[in-house]
Amino acid sequence: MFCVLDIDDYVRVEPELFNLATKDAIKQQLEKQYADYIDEDFGSVIAVLDVSRVGDGILIPEDPAAYYDSSFKLLVFKPELQELVFGKISQITNFGAFLDLGSMEAMIHISQTMDDYVTFSKANSLLGRSSKRALKKGDLCLARIVAVSFRTTPPKLGLTMRQPGLGKIDWINDEKRKAKLLAEKAARAASGKTKKKK
């Protein structure tokens, strides 16, 4: 899930940033510090949003940097089990697909791409035998997180699209259209039966 963290901490500002306004120097230092930062507690840091408070700076002997007691906000993505995620297929392999979530990638095993027998085609897509559905690079999808592991960097996320309302966005829209047509047909049939009874 995406969220904003409020953090109070001392920020070490390197001497090459001393020519900037203190708040700008702290923000630039934080952006450098949190670039590509991934942690099990925080998740993946997307951006430093704001430096809201800057306290007095302190110097430590034999360290050329200055330390400022500061408050700042970070935008982070911390994946949670059972969370719904939206992304674009970035890669198709013979064992599944990778979904780009913006801040990290997640893997959808071939058996979890659709409720069908799935094969890898020479055209670099995954094909459903009965449904004739195809999943290829660039497709927009909605999936559910079923596994999260921070043992590696970047973390490994496992997804499924084998549940109602999940999958390629085109498939979801097709299912909604079919459900709407069935509901309309059932409504017409029900209204026809009530007219005959009168």
For 89-105, the pLDDT digits (tens) are 999 999 999 999 988 89
Residue 153 has pLDDT above 70, yes or no: yes
CATH for the 2-77 domain, from 3.30.1490.120, 3.30.428.10, 1.20.1300.10, 2.60.40.10: 3.30.1490.120
Rounded distance between C-alpha atoms, residue 141 and residue 136, angstroms:
11
Global confidence as pTM: 0.78
| More reliable by pLDDT, 155 or 126 | 126
Predicted local confidence at residue 41, as pLDDT: 86
Predicted local confidence at residue 111, as pLDDT: 95
Residue 189 has pLDDT above 70, yes or no: yes
For 109-119, the pLDDT digits (tens) are 999 999 999 99
8 A C-beta contact, residue 98 and residue 105: yes
Compute the CA torsion angle 125, 163, 166, 134 (nearest 10 deg). 20
Burial tier of 88 (Cβ tally within 10 Å: 0-12, 13-18, 19+) = middle
Strand residue runs (E) in the chain? 2-13, 38-39, 43-59, 66-77, 84-93, 96-100, 105-109, 118-120, 125-128, 134-136, 140-149, 156-160, 167-168
Q: Hey, what are 136's tokens?
A: 């290829």
Order of strands across the sheet that contains 125-128: 118-120, 125-128, 134-136
CATH for the 84-178 domain, from 3.30.540.10, 3.30.830.10, 3.90.550.10, 2.40.50.140: 2.40.50.140
Quote the radius of gyration of the chain (alpha carbons, Å): 25
For 39-76, the pLDDT digits (tens) are 888 889 999 999 999 999 999 999 999 999 999 999 99
| More reliable by pLDDT, 154 or 121 | 121
Predicted local confidence at residue 196, as pLDDT: 57
